[in-house]
Chains A and B, each alone.
Chain A
């Protein structure tokens, strides 16, 4: 069935280091992927997205890599800051008669000062 999963439920990094959050997806029909950040007590917030016709997309301090061959998505955060501490979700949008967003379980990122 459709599923979006994450390799690691928690990730702890030192402030200033780079963070890499991984995500595996199973639906080859997915055309669009989004990373969301959710801070405690808040709703998910859009970070960056990527279409399936791209391998890489960069934003401010964030980069998303897409490997369609192995159905893998990653979010790289450069120079991680305490404010980056949150749960990160990858979401895929497969076409199943309509576009439906499916969220993974999330990875909690801890940034140590």
Chain B
């Protein structure tokens, strides 16, 4: 079974530029998550989709971050304009279901973003 695919693996941009990340979840997984992981910290949820609808985006900085999941499969996360503090690894995860306590998430390798 193929895992969660993310691209690119690395990205270096200057502040105020824009950047986009792509994620392809495990086939059949209805729920997709984007996390931000700053060095030395645990992942922090940015946004959670159930199919192509948003379940939780309470921690997404909506003035600069946006995400979409068209057709309930692939997803993109965009940052525009980027700030220095956005330097982090952006992880995508997927799970079979949401709305239940038992919810094992499967993660991609992440995109490491450096904002200079």
Residues of A whose CB lies within 8 Å of any CB of B are 4, 31-32, 34, 41-46, 49, 51, 89, 91, 93, 95, 98-101, 103-106
Question: Could you list some 6 contacts between A and B, CB below 8 A?
Answer: A32-B102, A42-B107, A46-B105, A100-B48, A101-B45, A105-B42
Contacting pair A100 B56 (CB below 8 A): yes
Contacting pair A49 B102 (CB below 8 A): yes
Contacting pair A106 B105 (CB below 8 A): no
B101 at the interface (CB under 8 A from A): yes
Given A49-B104, A98-B99: 13 more A-B contacts, CB < 8 Å: A31-B101, A32-B103, A42-B110, A43-B91, A43-B93, A43-B107, A46-B104, A46-B105, A51-B102, A98-B98, A99-B101, A100-B48, A105-B42
Contacting pair A99 B45 (CB below 8 A): no
Give chain B nearest CB distance to A53 CB in angstroms.
11
Most B CB contacts (10 A, CB to CB) among A42, A100, A101 go to A101
Residues of B whose CB lies within 8 Å of any CB of A are 4, 40-45, 48, 55-56, 91, 93, 98-110
Q: Which residue of A lies closest to B106 (CB)?
A: A46
Residue among A51, A98, A105 making CB contact with B41, cutoff 8 Å: A105
Contacting pair B110 A43 (CB below 8 A): yes
* Distance in angstroms between the alpha carbons of A106 and B42 in the assembled complex: 6
* Distance in angstroms between the alpha carbons of A101 and B99 in the assembled complex: 11
Contacts of A95 in B (CB 8 A): 101
Contacts of A4 in B (CB 8 A): 42
* Distance in angstroms between the alpha carbons of A41 and B55 in the assembled complex: 28
Give chain B nearest CB distance to A111 CB in angstroms.
20
**Given A98-B56, A100-B56, A44:B43 Cβ within 8 A:** yes
Q: Which residue of A lies closest to B4 (CB)?
A: A43
